[in-house]
Structure formats: structure tokens, C-alpha cells
Structure 1
Amino acid sequence: MADVTVQQLADNIGTPVDRLLKQMGEAGLKHSSAEDAVTDSEKQKLLTYLKTSHGGKAGEPNKITLKRKVTTQLKAGSGSGKGKTVNIEVRKKRTYMKRDAADSGAVAGTEVKSDEQLRREEEQRKLEEAQQRLQEEKRAAEESARRKVQEEEERKAAETTKAEPAEVTPAPGPGDVDVPPDPELEAKKARHKAKKASDDATEERRKAKKPKAAPSGKQERGKGSRHQQIMGLMDDEGGSGRRRPKRKKGGGPREHQFQQPTAPLVREVKLGENINVQDLAHQMSVKPAEVVKILFKMGVMATINQVLDQDTAILVVEEMGHRYVTVSENAMEEDLDASITYEGEPTARAPVVTVMGHVDHGKTSLLDYIRRTKVAAGESGGITQHIGAYHVETDHGMVTFLDTPGHEAFTAMRARGARSTDVVILVVAADDGVMPQTEEAVQHAKAGGVPIVVAVNKMDKEGADPERVISELAAKNVVPEEWGGDTQFIRVSAHTGEGIDALIDAVLLQAEVLELKAYAEGPAKGVVIESKLDKGRGAVSTLLVQNGLLKQGDIVLAGDATGRVRALVDEAGRTIESAGPSIPVEILGLDGTPEAGEEFVVVDSDKQAREVAEHRRERAREQELAKQQAAKLDNLFAGMGAGEVATLNIVLKADVRGSLEAIQAQLAGLGNEEVRVNVVSGGVGGISESDANLAVTANAVMLGFNVRATGKAREVIERNGLDLRYYNVIYDLLDDIKAALNGMLSPELREQIVGLAEVRDVFNSPKFGQVAGCMVVEGTVYRNKNIRVLRDDVVIYEGELESLRRFKDDVQEVRQGTECGIGVRNYKDVKAGDKIEVFDVKEFARTID
């Protein structure tokens, strides 16, 4: 091959000229510039030096591999007249060995093995050594586990021998004794250890075969190392660089990184109060169909969306060989409550007042007068209507009013467990007296345990009769203080303003009695009054702060809605920076519209808020799936426990008061010591949303007599699955209630003797054992009914028949006056003269008196 310059050699092998000159100098070559010529012998000397410096052996190689690649182009025409060019690449590879090396191997009578064969033999040897070590470690682990189990059994036997006979030793708990290791688990650990050793050996071989990178510079892709480039420049000699050949089919053993587990995996399953089949299967890493199959075997028909109670889920987990851990459903809520702390002492706060009353009794007029006179003049007439709440300042303190439909909002909040109202102002017109909605407001207030202040309105009218109002309310157990009760009655006029100051003073006096207190600083906590979607502002929620200080930028969690407070707006429509206890405020920034009555709280991080919100949504879905129709008349008796008085709660609405009083009187007379009827609420008029919410709270059945439900009420009824029934005949209503009460009664069990047989003789049969030859003297003897054996008219055995035969035939019954053979199950002392009495147990439905 012709000589080349240093510059050309450096370009061919892909290295800088300076680096190549330095290496040539280290190899003993006297080249100092890029234009110096390099002969073939000098190339060989440089190659020998580089091989020696990289761990190779000096001297000429025994074999050389030459590769050639030729690329040509083929042009072909197409039907559309356009030409197409195709690149064709031809690769050739040849390997040459020195004749003397091959001949020496043949003369010695030994086989010349390739590097690939040597590598495979080395890998096979190491694999066999690893497998041998694995077997030895497995045997050692099994022997160790066996010894530990034997020692543990000997120790337990020694402890049992030393224990006193009269002393009962409790079963050891999980932490009392050391659990012996599982032999399968120890073997599995040994296999993993051997596998890791084999993987490490494979990795070391891979690193050893990988060519080392140049100390400096960057090789071009596809050119290979300098050894390979110098080898390509030699005519008949080359380096030792070599690509790993591709594995052919049927080649040597192939190592894999996976091993089949020798024992089933035992997983820890977390179980709450309820869990559906799909989630249970996911925790056990099995298919839902497997869980459904186990449930079928247990006699439970279920689907993958079926919600299981905790006891059933425990049985499934144990049946499938896993461990279970019961967790509290309220753990996240408890952690949230624990994270909210306040410093210092609580201070007095303003009372929150809800105004209730019958339609046209002046509730709205009373609120309008308070707005006009008690709100500062600089607030443009006081209050904007959209917020639904406001507060007024007086000489004696502040009062917060909830400007919402009184009884409806109050019922919805109480149904969700949020006690947002401190005092109820019951407005009654002095010229009209107590009306149906007045009674309903009293029922809601008493059910929530909230004190009442009665405002006897319209005192400026000629027909005003406050004494009539006092008498009618006293009959409803709302007794004034003048009569020895605990309710304040204030005479007011929303038209003239008479008694307004006295009414507010009465509310503040009631607040002093209640000793209302709250923390003025710390994370805000309260209740949602209302929420809606605004086209321009998004989700808008009205909150009532009950504790702490709500500020702009706080992270709020309200029900399953979360978000950062972007703005706070007071009742006058002004943007404020913060809101303290008993202050209603609008906020922007939540990602949803929480329901009225939901509690809200300020949390530290957005992550915690999202986790709790997702937990609440998931729990709500589970409860919706698991909720049973307990309020349905057909299923009320299912949850009745032994010895308990079952109560049928009813919400009743009628068209006129006469019908309402007649139905209530009839329902009060139904029931006995086991079942009874409880009329939670009774009123006149259509079934409203308030009635539906009250039925949800009391788990009651709704009855409508000549009335119908409103649209919003029907939505609540359908959403909560309430049982609503309409009637127009009072007797039909009473008959259905009686039938429901009868179904709640436990049935009565009675015995009936259906046949009597007299034993004439006893035979021993090799096939059937002892057989009594009998004559049926009364009734009919049945094979599948219970029997008693009588001797001298005294019962000596009670059980079942083993067989009933007539001659050689098995029969199901034998009538009076016929002989038969009777075999008594599990009893062999039947004698001649005994009597076999056949009886049946029947259930008889009970009815109320």
C-alpha cells in the first residue's frame, strides 16, 4: 500500500493531528508535522503500540477480517412517465488466517476454536456454576427454615408442659413470638441472590468487550475505533476489533432476566366500611371475575360494580389467601380536623338569625324595614339582593340575617348536619294567627334545637289580636315567658317600625344567653349559604364565616369543591380583604358549586384540599351504590333487630286541615309494643322541597292526600330514592300503613301434627340398618318432615326420617291404615310399642290489633 501523510492518516482514523503526532512520538516514531510520510512498517509499529497500551498483546494477528461495501444506483421508469432511483448496497466480508497458525493447530491434533465458541463455553460454565450455587443456597435455606420450625415447636411444647393445668394461656398475638421464616420465601431470596450474581457477571463481560473511548476528541458515527481504521488501511494485516455476530436460531443457551415465582404473593388489602368488587380485585392484583366467582361460591350474587360491606370483603380476602387491614373511612377527615388549630381564647360573636313565617305574614316587609333603617346610608340603600345574607350594626352589637327562604334553607342545612343558624325569628300576623307554614317553621326550629323569638307582626291593623297568636302558639308548645315558658314574644309593625328595636334587642339577649363565641384569628371555617354559576365570574359561593379569618389568597375546601380565593365581596358589592366570624361574604375561585349547608375550611396546601375533595367524591359514589331503600314500605322490616321497637316515620301533607287532623288521629292509634307510627311532619298544601328534605333527614315515607309534589320536590325525591304515595281515599291510606306495620312484625311459628305411626316390630337390615315396622294409625307420615319418637307418651328423640319404605319401594308418604318401614336418622334405640309422631312447623303472619 502506498505511503500516506500524517494528515491523511489522521483523517482516515478520525482523530486530531496533534493527538496522532503525540501517540506516534510515544510509539518511538520521529514524525513532527502533518506533511511527514508514514510507511506501512511505521503504521504497524504504531498499531502494535496502541494495542499494547489498551491491554492487547504485541505481535502480528493470527487472522484478519476484511469488509467491503459497494453502493450503486438503479434507475427505473414508471407508468406515469416519471423516473425512480433505487439505491442498492452490496456488503462482503472475508476472514483470513495465517497458514502457520492453522497448520500448527492441525499438527498438534487440536481443534482451532473461534472466539465466539470460547465465549459461549465460558458463559455456559458460569451459568452452570451459578445454578449450582443456587441449588446449594436453596438447600441451605430450607434446612435452616426446617431447623427453626423444629426449634419453635420444641419451645412451645416445653412452655405447654411447664404451664399450670388451671391456667388458661392466651393465644400469642402477632408481636408475642417470632414467626418462623417461610422456606419458600428463603428459597426465593436465594434464587434472587444467585440471579443477581449471574447478572453482575454478564454486565462485567459486556463492559470488557465494549471498546474504550478516545481520551479526547469525538469519533464520527459509523467509523469505529482507531484500531479498526488502522486495520482497514493494512493490506494483509489488521487489528483485533470485531463486531459481535448476530445470534442464529438454534444457537447456545440464552440467559433471561425473569424467574417464575415459587410461592403465591400475599398482599395486604385495605378495607373500609364499603368497597366495590373492582377495587377489591385491584388491591389483590386479580381479575374482577375471580372475585365474582368466589362470591358465587359463598352464595352472593354480585357484579364488578357491586358494593360489598366490610365483613363480606374480609371473607373474600381470606378465601383468596391475602391479608386484610381495616381502615377508618374518616381517617382523612380526622387528619384535616386535627390540622386546624386556633391560638388564644375565643371571643363573643354576633348571632346568625333566620327569619321564618307563613306567606303574607310580613316576613319580607320586616326584612326590608331593617335594611332601610339599620344599614349605613353610604351603602346606597343597604344591601344587594343577590348575596342572600347581610349584617346590621346596632348600639348593642351586630346581628347577621340570612335572607333566604327561611324554612327551606334551614331544613337543607340541617339535613346536611350544618348548624348555621343561632336564632329563628318566627313572624306571625296578628290579624291572621297561626297558619300551616307557621306550624312547619316551628317543627323545623324544634327539630334543629334552635331557640325561637316570635315577632307578632301587623300590630298597626285594626283586626290585630296578639293574644290569639299567643294562645295558638302555646298549643303548639311555644310558650311565652309571661306564661312560664322560654320564648320571647315581641309586638312589631313592619309598616310603622313599631317594636323593631325591641326585636333586635331580644335577639341579642338570646345570643347572650347562648354565649356565642368564636376565634377571630386563624384558618377560617364556616358554612356555605348558597352557590351558583355566573357567566362572567364563574363559580360564585356565599359563605358564612363561623371561626377564624377568611382572607384573599386562602385555599378553601367546601364539600368536594376546592380553589384559591381570588376575590371577596361583601353584601354591598364591595371588594374586601378579609371576613371574620358571623360575616357573610361572596368568594370567587372555587372549581365547583358546593351545596347549601356544606361546611368549608381553609387548608394549608392545594394538594391536601384536592386529596380530601377526591376522597369525599369517592365516598359519596360508594354510599350512593351501597344505599339501601330503607324508606320503602316493602323493605322496612329488613333492618329491624330483635327486641327493638320498629318505627315507621311519615311526612304527611293533606289538602285541608280537617282531613289532616282525621288522618293523624287514625295513624296515632295504629301499632303495638313492637311497631309504631311516627308522624314527623304534617301540614296542609302541596309537597314542597322542604318536605322532601325533611323526609331525607328523618328517613321517612311521604304521603300525599289529595295533593301533589312540586317540581323541585320531585327532584329531591328521585335523587334520594324516597317512597312517595298519593291517596284520595282515607281508608286506602290506612290500609297500606296497616299492611306495612304488619310486614314489620315477626311471623308466628306454629306446629301441626300431620301423622302418627305405631311401631309393631324392629328389624335389622344389612343395607339400611335398624328398620321399624310400623302401622300408620293417624293422618299421613311424610318422609321430608320432622319427627318425634314417643315412649309411654314421653318424647325421647326428635329428628328426621332416614327412610320410608312400602314393601321394597321407597315412598314419599304413607296414609292412615297402611303398614310401612321407617328408618330413624341417627337413632338406633327404637323399640316395639313406641310411637313416631310426624309434625310440621308453619309460619303465620301476625297483624296489629
Structure 2
Amino acid sequence: MAENTVKEFAEAIGRPVASLLEQMQKAGLQHKSEDQKVSEQDKQVYLDSLKRASGTGDEPTRITMTRKTTQQLKTDGRKSVNVEVRKKRTFVKRSDVEDQAEKAQEIATKAAEVEALQKAEAAAEEKRQATEKARREAEEAARIALAEEDAKRKANQENKVVEPVLDEEAQKKADADKERRKQDEKRRAEQARKARANPVVTGVEDTAEEPEETLLKNTKVATADDKPKATKPGSRKSAGGKKTGGKREDSFEDRRLSRRGSKDDKRKGGRRAASASREHGFEKPTAPVTRDVLIPESITVAELADRMAVKGSEVIKVMFKMGAMATINQVIDQDTAAIVVEEMGHLPKLQKDNAIETEVIDTISYEGTAITRAPVVTVMGHVDHGKTSLLDYIRRASVADAEAGGITQHIGAYHVETTNGNMVTFLDTPGHAAFTAMRARGAKATDVVILVVAADDGVMPQTVEAVQHSKAAGVPLVVAVNKMDKETADPERIRNELSQYEVISEEWGGDTPFVHVSAKQGTGLEALLEAVLLQSEMLELTAVPEAPGKGVVVESRLDRGRGPVATVLVQNGTLRKGDIVLAGLNYGRVRALIDENGKQIDSAGPSIPVEILGLDGTPEAGDEFMVVQDEKKAREVALFRQGKYREVKLARQQKAKLENVFSHLETGEVASVNIILKSDVRGTVEAIIGALRELETDEVKVNVVSSGVGGITETDANLALASEAILLGFNVRADASARAIIEREEIDLRYYSIIYELIEEVKQAMTGKLAPEYREDIVGIAEVRDVFRSPKLGQVAGCMVVEGTVYRNKKIRVLRDNVVIYEGELESLRRFKDDASEVRNGMECGIGVKNYNDVKIGDKIEVFDKVRVERTL
């Protein structure tokens, strides 16, 4: 059938066009004018809408089928009985069944409550009546016994015959009858109590379901008016009824038998006996349960609800009533959680975050006989002032020659014995500016600081920093004025300069000893050691060697063959092979102890530096370590610390992200240099990252994607490829698999052994990321003397070059009264009708300005050039 317009369709059905359009829009059609086409599908949609509006368009939700069958049953003899069976099936939609089931369940619940109440009242009334009846029976029995006794007494008086006393067997029989009556009364009272506690409610009959339709049986719900009904043991209903294909069939005979059975049961009280047989022993607790709820520093709503054994929605409701909006996974603080727990009737118990650590630390005892221990001395000072050379002479070794670039780049720990038999432990710290954190850790772990100052160089920035570190740690200072063998040595200058920082020598009335030494010739070293030992005696340093080991991590690294290796300094107790050590975020059993000479030892006492193997990772330099007794406790503390470290790190990252968002909104995108850093020791990694952070500016940032200890692995190479980062290896190398990826993907890999070079090259890479900066140089100025019209070029300005040179291919500005009114480029530059590339000072020319025709006499045309300026950090 051809499509009609809205107007034709309205004429066909006899309705006004406006009314038809309104009804079509209500039906969901997009017709708005009478000229739009109406398809057969649109007509069907419109018709369905009219049917729904009139109530005739809904599909039937219920179909009822009734079927009658007649059967003949033969009885004894030749008689037969016609039996008519009527079957009724109702098919409804699944949604309707579910709704009805919910309504039936609700009705059943209410009916059960009403019936339970009625039964409880009936049982109470029955118990009262039974008690009253028993009381009356007892009174009647007592009265009868009294009357019989009086009659017997009278008879005895009349006949003057003494009756014999009841024999023993009759007395026992009477006692047994009395006891049996008591048991019957007790059993009836118990049955009444159980009936009140567990009322029996008739349920809803089963409903069989089909894939598309549901067979709905005649459902009967127990109400408050219904009496409890029981069926005969032999009836068909008690056997579950006849079922065919999952559908239950009832007959008039079943109903008749059911009615008879229920009447008989009413008389016999069978329902009460059946309910008593199905009784169970559970009784609902009536008193509220109060729990002790352990609350940490922060907890989620779901976990708090779980600890109180309630639903999370109830906790949210309580918080909502208290004026706090929360979700099931929201983290709340300890105070809020305590208020919620008290509101819900439980007892809150506040738990501190470091409770696990405190418990482990409290179990360790450091009691025992204290002995004098050797002092721990840190050598500090400016770079190249001779710290390591001084230690070399003391140790009779050559450490400075092995250091890359001749400078120390990590903390070295050694212990030596003096000529007097005293032992001194030395910590050699780096002097470069990048190793500030290392020097701070060295000052905290030490007893005395030796400040090395070159006599020919004076006080330098790292010298002042060392003084500040020692004062912050409260450590006494001994100044070693080195390089006294040089002719330019000036020790008085050192005293003057250090006095500005409140370091006054003993010669000037202060408390700081100044010792003149020469690391090259070995002069003055004995006096230096004596000054150190004198300071340690004044401090009265003691330790308990029998106690478990305790100290500080000096350095850590990852060895390919031995795994994580940590250099530790024992400060108290004794560290033994096989001990369980907890160091910062890591723990493990000590598999080997190695001294500074590379020899394995069995134990290390106070003030002894030693390398330990067996930790599960590389701890941070400066972390405290301790020996614990239980490995399980050590693991719990380490995991707890790792979780706290992860939370702090994520919070810091989230804060940085928010700050970056606002900074980007203000200044736009910031360039960054991605770096993956691997080093030989943990302390060097921290120092390099700290030095790179100081290079950052508002325009270029350093993004350390990953950092770690050990060689460059395949994982590092893949990460560098994904993040477009530069691989930096400090005293480490890449393995074979990593080198294959680096060569194939052409990843930028650089090796370093001196920190100066690494920082300088990263600085150059950051400089390359800076946005280009341009400077404008004015190369010529022409003054407009006259204006001409050209059919091809439009307006042409006749000019005189009054300054510099005018070039054809450079940018120009048009100035009027020294105000810029246009900026663009030249379209043509001519001299005597010939094109010219440039016109010099004092010459005339014709200038055509591109896309600008408002040049006037007296204007100036300024020609300028953009020059890129080299930028540096």
C-alpha cells in the first residue's frame, strides 16, 4: 500500500489534522506537519497507542482452561460408579506470579504472626485452665481422702476393731500414681510452652513453572481465622497428591477426604501432637549482644560493620542520623568509628597504628652488664680536602685510588686499632654537594665528628654544612687542619673562618680541639687519635654485648651472586650468624657476616661495621635494624611498614597530581625528562635523585620513572621503551637480554662512574627540553614619502630608507605616530620598477604591504628579524 500524508490519513479516519498530530506525537512518532508521510509501520504504532489508551491493547496476562473427564469405577459385584473429574489450569505471566508470590508471602507472614499470637494466648489460657483444674482435683482428692478417713475412724469407733495398716505394696502403688500425675502435668505445660515458641503455619502450595508460562494452582494462605488442619495418614492428600509432569492434580474426592480428615483431627487434637513432634531446641536470644570492637587509625565502613556483625546498611543509617554521609567503601577516621560503635551499643577499643611494632620492641630486652665500647667517628669535610687520604694513612691502605674520579661516592665503614690497643670505628662520608643526606645520616650514627679542612683552601660550603650536621646531632667536633706540608698552608685563617660559625678552638678559649695533620706525610695523626679518644672518654660510651644486636644501616646494595647485601653498624648488643633481623621495610635471617676485609665472621659486637646477607630486600640507608626472636612477628612488622610506606607514597603522588593539575591550568603543559636510574648502592641512588630534583625549573621537570639497586635488567629496558626514558647506570652495567632490547629499540643508555658527569649530562638534556626563545632585532626603517595606486598590487608606498636595510623576505610593522597599527610582511619591494631583494640606507624604494591598503604619508615601515636565543638552566 502506498504511503499517505498526515492530511490524507486524517481524512481517511475522519479526524481533524491537529488532533491526529497530537495523538501521533503522544504515540512517540515524529510527525509535526500535515505534509509528512505516514508509513504502514507508523500507522501500526499509532493504532497500538490508541488500544493502550482505551485499555484493549494489553495482552491477556492470565488464561484459564477447564477440562472435565468422566471415569467409571467398578465396585464389588456388578455395580459401577461414574466419577467426574474437573481439572482447572491457569497460565499467567512470570512477572504476575512473582508479584502474587510476594503478596502471598506477605499475607502468610502476617497470618503467621496473628496465628502465633492467638496460639500463644490459647496456650496460656489452656495452661491456666489446666492449673485451675489440677488445683480443683487436688482439693477434691484431699476432701475425699479426709471424708474417707473420718468414715473409717467412725467405723472403728463403732466396731471397736482396729484395722491393720495398709501393706507396703499398696503404699508404693499410691506413690507411683501420684508421681505419674505430676509427670503428666509437667509434660502438658512443656508442650504448651513449645507451642508458643514454635507456632505451625500452613504454607503456600507449590506452583509448577513452564519456560514461557506458569501453572498457577489454587493457592490457600493461612489466616488468623483458619483452624489448624491435619490429614489422615492413609488419605491421598497426605501422600503428596498425584503429580503429572510436574503439575499437581486435585479431585473432588481428595477435597472430600481432606475435609473429613480435618474434621476428625479437630476432634482428636492431632495437629497439636504433630507440632510437638516437629519441635527443635533453638531459642532466640532475648538479651542484646555487646561486642568489643577493635578500631585502628582508619577503617572502612564495610570492615567496621563486619567487626560489629551487622549489615553495612545499618552502619550507614546510623551515620546518616548523626549527620555524616558515607558509602560502604568509604574510609572513616578512628574518632568517627568510635562514636558509631557506641551509638550501636558496642564497646570501642582504640588501636594505635604502631601497636605491632611496639609489641615487638617491648619484647626485646637490652639488660645486662654494660662495658665501655669503641667510639664511632665520622670523617666529614669539603670535597678534595683529604678525608679519605687521611683514613688511608690510618688504615695503612689505599682506598682513594680505587674511588672513581678520586672522590668518595658512598659511605665507607672501617675499624682500626691504635698503638695503645684502643679500637676506633671510622665512617667516611662523601664531600660532594649531592651527598647531603649521606652526611646527615653519618652524623646521626656517630659519636665524634672529625672535620677535615684543607689549610690552603679554607672553609668551603660542605665544611659549613658538616658543622651544621654535627651541631644538629649534638655530636662533639674535632677539627683536623690537613695539608700542613704545603707552603701556602694558613691554619690561623681556618680558625678565623670557623669562628664565624661558632666553632672556637681550645687555644682561643673554646671547647673544640684543632689538630694540625698531613695525610701525605702522616704527621699529627697520633695527636688526632688521642683527641678523638679523649672526647669518647668524656662521653662515657657503653654497650651490653650479651643483648640482641641493634644498630643502623650504613649502606645497602644488590649483588648478583649473593642477593641483597646491607652494611650495618652494630651500636648495642651482638649480631650473630643465624639471627632474625628486622631492618626498615625488610627482614630476614642472617646467612653470613662479612667484615670490611672480606672475611666471614660468626658475630659482630658493639661499634663493629659488618656486611650481612639474607635480607629479603635492600633497606634504605639510615634505617635502624634490630634482632627479633620470632620470624613471624618480624614478617608482620615488615608488611605493616610496607603498607604504611605505600599509603604515604600514594598520598604524596595524589597530592602531586592535584598540584600538577592546577599548575597546568595556570601555566600550561610542562616539559619533563624521564629517567630510569640504577646504581650500585642505595645511598647513591638517593643522592643522585636529590641532585636531579634541584635542577628542576618551572618549565622542565625531572621524572624519575624507576630507581633501584643492581644491574640494568630486561624489565628496566622494557620500562624505558614504554615510558621513553633515558637509562642511567651508575657503577652498574646492563645484562645480555637488556642489551639486546636496547640495541634493537635504540634506547638511550648511558654509564657513569662520577656523579659530576651524570648531573651535567642530565642538565644538558633538560636544556634541550626548554621552549625556544626568540629575540626581535630591527634591521631597517623606511619612511613613507608618497602613496601610489597600482592596478596589480593596489596601494604602493614610496619610501626612503632612513635607517639600516630593508629586506624583502622579512617581517614588517607599520607605525603611525610611533604606534604599531599593522604587523605583516612585504608583498613587493621595487626600485625604479625593478624587483629588489634589499634596499640600503639613504635610498628610495616602493613597498607594497601584503593585505593592507591604509598606508599614509608620514608612516614608518619597520623591518625586523627573529633570532633564536640559546637558553640554559
What TM-score, normalized to structure 2?
Answer: 0.41
Q: Larger Rg: 1 or 2?
A: 2
What TM-score, normalized to structure 1?
Answer: 0.42
Q: Whose relative contact order is higher, 1 or 2, with alpha carbons under 8 Å and at least 6 apart? A: 1
